[in-house]
Amino acid sequence: MSTETTAQYVKAGRHADAPAQKDLDRCVHCGLCLNACPTYRELGVEMDSPRGRIYQMVQVATGQTPINPTYTEHMDLCLGCRACETACPSGVEYGKLIEAARTELNAVRPKSFFRSAIEGFVFNHLLSSRWMLSLVGLKLWIYQSTGLQSLVRATGILKLMGLAEIEKLTPTAERPNFFGQIGKVFPAEGTRKKKVALLAGCMQNVFFAKLNEATVRVLQKNGCEVHIPAEQTCCGALHAHSGFRDQARALAKQNVEALVDGGFDAIISNTGGCGATLKEYHHLLEHDARAEKFVSLMRDVNEFLASIELNPNMKPINAVVTYQDSCHLAHGQKVTKAPRQLISKIPGITFVEMPNASICCGSAGIYNVVQNELAMEILESKMGNVNVTKADRVISSNPGCMLQLRAGEKLHGQNRPVQHVIELLDEAYRG
């Protein structure tokens, strides 16, 4: 429960990026989205449903209610998973609305010095700085690989500080990181069929370097010359989701300029969350023809590989697997068939669909850190669905989901490996 008071909020007129009335008006309050919403399913509270949240946005937009602690709490509890968008028959673009609402909220909400400092550091510096991310990765790698992590855990100090649950979600820093590959060009295997650019992400270069390497190899196997353009930067998804829209715009501009004139057949992302923002750069950079061209070239890696003739030279993998949709891939990008098609093309694989695969696992960017309790409840439900499949591997298409599912495997599962679709394909190609 929030300890803020309404008086602490900065009084301001409507923010330039506040939810637009025409977007709010599309909701007819039918409630058909309620059952798709993970927070409504867990909490059973109308104000924590998509319809309830849109109602509150309307109240703020029309001046009937000020932005206050109650409004803040319900907006903060939204995962931004956009499952409501898929369920909505009226075409409400909920993702756009919640990002706009958070941008407006961010400009007026009271913040402690500590919170402002952390947000300023992360959103203005860390995510777009290769050397800072490299340094964080190196320190974390030392902490994790020298036994220091086990020692700290054993002392119980994390529990005393209330950080034990969050620390369990810390990703493993990989060495070497992927920053060393940025700027390089990887030739196609055999005849070059496509020239593509890979967006390597920000933290992904440190925590999912091996996934990026696997992505390059799988694309090469499929006749692609893979460029990792040097001037690329963080996609800005975390900024946009957290209400830092101006910073997201600056990053979007840099990526557009870095890639749009490269003569690429496609610009590829292997991360559902980043891909959704990258495909919506025309929302961030309105009336910008170069941003529109960039968007027309953007492809999720699953979508791209499913659209070409896949190299069939794979060795069998004898495993039963299930697939957890990445919310931003399924609901943001509407890509659900491609990953399943790719998995089913690997010889030896038995695919078992899990119940409610398209419902969020509770990861949602940094949601599992800032709303840890509810994220863990959502994860528990998810692992119940994974367990009924009796799969021996869990597959997804977004690093954030993979981290959350790995935590779920430790807490409620059977310690099964959690892999990206591309890692499974890479394994099949490498035998």
Please report whether residue 79 would count as binding ligand SF4 according to CB under 6 A. yes
Please report whether residue 90 would count as binding ligand SF4 according to CB under 6 A. yes
- Side chain identity, residue 8: Q
- From first CA to last CA, the distance across the chain in angstroms is 52
Residue among 37 and 202 whose Cβ is closer to ligand SF4 = 37
Residue among 309 and 373 whose Cβ is closer to ligand SF4 = 373
Of 62-70, 85-93, 146-154, 286-294, which part binds ligand SF4 (CB under 6 A)? 85-93
Residue among 227 and 239 whose Cβ is closer to ligand SF4 = 239
Q: Return the residue of 29, 159, 315, 334 that touches ligand SF4, per CB under 6 A.
A: 29
CB 50 within 8 A of CB 30: no
Of 27-35, 62-70, 181-189, 400-408, which part binds ligand SF4 (CB under 6 A)? 27-35
Q: Return the residue of 15, 74, 82, 299 that touches ligand SF4, per CB under 6 A.
A: 82
CB 395 within 8 A of CB 352: no
Q: Return the residue of 16, 20, 28, 369 that touches ligand SF4, per CB under 6 A.
A: 28
Strands 194-198 and 266-269: what pairing? parallel
Please report whether residue 83 would count as binding ligand SF4 according to CB under 6 A. yes
CB 267 within 8 A of CB 239: no
Burial 323-335 (b: 16+ CB within 10 A, else e): bbbbbbbbbbbeb
On the question of a cis peptide bond just before residue 312, with omega within 30 degrees of 0, the verdict is no
CA distance 374 to 330: 22
Angle at 247 between CA 246 and CA 250, to 5 degrees: 90
What residues have CB less than 8 Å from 66, skipping those under 6 apart?
6, 9, 60
The least distance separating ligand SF4 from the CB of residue 183, rounded to whole angstroms, comes to: 37
| Structural tokens at position 324 | 């957890």
The least distance separating ligand SF4 from the CB of residue 345, rounded to whole angstroms, comes to: 31
Q: Name the β-bridge partners of 351.
A: 321
Please report whether residue 41 would count as binding ligand SF4 according to CB under 6 A. no
- Side chain identity, residue 338: A
Residue among 53 and 279 whose Cβ is closer to ligand SF4 = 53
Please report whether residue 137 would count as binding ligand SF4 according to CB under 6 A. no
Q: Return the residue of 84, 105, 284, 285 that touches ligand SF4, per CB under 6 A.
A: 84
Beta-carbon count within 10 A of 226 CB? 22
The least distance separating ligand SF4 from the CB of residue 88, rounded to whole angstroms, comes to: 3
Please report whether residue 61 would count as binding ligand SF4 according to CB under 6 A. no
Picking from 249, 318, 301, the residue whose alpha carbon sits closest to that of residue 277 is 249
Please report whether residue 211 would count as binding ligand SF4 according to CB under 6 A. no
Please report whether residue 27 would count as binding ligand SF4 according to CB under 6 A. yes
Of 30-38, 65-73, 154-162, 285-293, which part binds ligand SF4 (CB under 6 A)? 30-38
The least distance separating ligand SF4 from the CB of residue 284, rounded to whole angstroms, comes to: 19
Please report whether residue 38 would count as binding ligand SF4 according to CB under 6 A. yes
Q: Return the residue of 15, 53, 241, 416 that touches ligand SF4, per CB under 6 A.
A: 53
Q: Return the residue of 18, 24, 39, 294 that touches ligand SF4, per CB under 6 A.
A: 39
| Structural tokens at position 135 | 């340094």
**Residue 224: strand, helix, or coil:** strand
| CA–CA distances in Å: residue 321 to residues 97, 313, 337, 344, 390 | 35, 20, 16, 10, 8
Q: How many residues bind ligand SF4 (CB under 6 A)?
A: 27
CA distance 63 to 57: 10
Strands 224-227 and 185-186: what pairing? antiparallel
Beta-carbon count within 10 A of 301 CB? 28
Please report whether residue 350 would count as binding ligand SF4 according to CB under 6 A. no
The least distance separating ligand SF4 from the CB of residue 21, rounded to whole angstroms, comes to: 15
Please report whether residue 101 would count as binding ligand SF4 according to CB under 6 A. no
Q: Return the residue of 81, 259, 361, 407 that touches ligand SF4, per CB under 6 A.
A: 81
Q: Name the β-bridge partners of 196.
A: 226, 266
Picking from 261, 256, 126, the residue whose alpha carbon sits closest to that of residue 199 is 256
The least distance separating ligand SF4 from the CB of residue 97, rounded to whole angstroms, comes to: 9
CA distance 241 to 404: 18
Residue among 38 and 365 whose Cβ is closer to ligand SF4 = 38
Of 89-97, 123-131, 148-156, 164-172, which part binds ligand SF4 (CB under 6 A)? 89-97
The least distance separating ligand SF4 from the CB of residue 82, rounded to whole angstroms, comes to: 5
- List residues binding ligand SF4 (CB under 6 A): 27-33, 36-39, 50-51, 53-54, 78-84, 87-88, 90, 92, 94
